Amino acid sequence: MSERNLKTPSGKPRARSLGVRLLGSPGRHNAITDVPGVAVGYVTLIEGHGPTRVGEGPVRTGVTAILPRGRDGVGLPCAAGFYSLNGNGEITGVSWIEETGALGSPILLTNTHAVGACHRGIIDWTVKHRPQLAEQWLLPVVAETWDGYLNDINGNHVTAQHAVAAIDEAVEGAIEEGSVGGGTGMNCYAFKGGSGTASRRVSFGSESYTLGAFVQANFGARHELTIGGTYLGELLAGDNPMEDFYAKPGAGSVIAIVATDAPLLPGQCKALARRVPLGLARTGTSGSHFSGDLFLAFSTANRGALTSQFSAEPKGAGDLDQLAFVQWGHMDRFYEATVQAVEEAVLNALSAAGEMIGRDGHRAPGLPREKVAQALRG
């Protein structure tokens, strides 16, 4: 793996820089954006200090945009599947994805009380840039986790304009991690968490495909934390100012988005989404009743297929959609890549996010990286 991928573009350390041993072969940037065409954009909102004044701050939040086919491909469906490990959360638009097996919307990630603003923002962007799509119904895909420990979450700080800006800012290539975008105010294992990503190369016959994962990590109890197969919950038990704040240790949520350029059926995408919890479990979590753990997977292959969901009439007599797909008997290597990429994405979010002070002086400590590195060295 390239030395440059040990850090984010701004120089934040990623998990591998701590000596974490991780399986699999990452893509060029070790990010979901290694999947050709996938773009990610952030709007990060950090403003103010001190006591909460609802509507004024302090603000520690944002928006993440994930575009499966970039801006030019908005409205061109991908095969997709959804899975909920625990339903104390929200991803809008998944009822239609479950019905049709197709995803044509940008995916936005934000805080729990900003879902409506981001939903409106996708519509506004589409009306401006894809007016022909807006003439039909729009069912935007927006996912959330709760950042109310650090953020004035009831202050309506995320607007539709921020959602539009995140879509407009989306880029391919290396992307930031940690306290950025929708992950700005999130916490993970009672450390500062947020946005994280990773990828894996997958060989299939004579072809090589890429699978990438992106997580908005806001879950887990400190006593569960495991890194690179080493249990660290007891070693890192100290300095936990969130312990008394949360009524239930481990409460929180996680959103995971899995992307691949391998040709898959919608049911196979759903099968990938069902493997996300296995990657999360490698970091220690047992899954909290009070956590919203929701996962969406999509394939960018079969471009031009699945468009029939928008038409009540066939294009011509006997017109049929066709999907190429990996044989079910060869899906194990893609399941393995999903588990590996999700695990590393969570660890990258933890590693890249430093300490943050939010509303009412609430503090989220950063992962003690050197202590972790020493423990992993034995």
CB distance 101 to 306 below 8 Å: yes
The three-state secondary structure class of 91 is: strand
How far is Cα 164 from Cα 142, in angstroms, rounded to an integer? 13
Q: Is residue 361 part of a domain?
A: no
Question: Nearest-CA neighbor of 21 among 276, 372, 275?
Answer: 372
In a domain, 368, yes or no: no
283 domain residue, yes or no: yes
Indicate which residues carry an active-site annotation. 253, 291, 293
pLDDT tens digit sequence for 346-378 = 999 999 999 999 999 999 999 999 999 999 998
pLDDT, residue 309, reads 57
Question: Within a domain: residue 310?
Answer: no
364 belongs to a structural domain: no
The residues with which 217 forms a beta bridge, in sequence order, are 194, 254
Q: Is 128 left (phi over 0), alpha (psi -120 to 50) or beta?
A: alpha
Q: What is the pLDDT of residue 249?
A: 64
Q: What is the pLDDT of residue 243?
A: 86
Residue 278 counted as domain residue: yes
Tokens of 114: 């900003």
Please indicate, yes or no, if residue 311 is contained in any of the structural domains: no
Helix 160-168 and helix 115-129, axial crossing angle in degrees, nearest 10:
60
pLDDT(28) > 70: yes
pLDDT attached to residue 145: 98
pLDDT number for residue 171: 98
Question: How many domains is the chain partitioned into structurally?
Answer: 1
Chain centre to alpha carbon of residue 9:
18
pLDDT digits (tens, 9 = 90+) for 261-320: 999 999 999 999 999 999 999 999 999 999 999 999 999 999 999 986 555 555 555 678
**CATH code for the domain in which residue 97 is found:** 3.60.70.12
SS3 232: coil
Interhelix angle 266-281/332-352, rounded to 10 degrees, is 50
Which is more confident, 65 or 3? Answer: 65
> In sequence order, which residues have a C-beta less than 8 Å from that of residue 333 and are 6 or more positions away?
202, 203, 204
In a domain, 378, yes or no: no
- Domain containing residue 40: 3-305+323-355
Which pLDDT score is estimated for 378?
80
Q: Where are the beta strands (DSSP E) in the chain?
A: 39-47, 59-67, 78-87, 102-103, 107-111, 141-145, 187-188, 191-192, 194-204, 207-218, 226-227, 230-231, 252-260, 291-299, 356-357, 363-364
Q: What ranges in 83-234 are assigned the alpha helix state H?
A: 94-100, 115-129, 131-134, 160-168
What is the reported pLDDT for 310? 54
Q: Do β-strands 252-260 and 291-299 pair in parallel, antiparallel, or remain unpaired?
A: parallel
Which band of pLDDT confidence, cut at 50, 70 and 90, is reported for residue 321?
confident
User: Beta-carbon neighbour count of residue 165 at 10 Å?
Assistant: 17
* Rounded distance between C-alpha atoms, residue 226 and residue 214, angstroms: 19
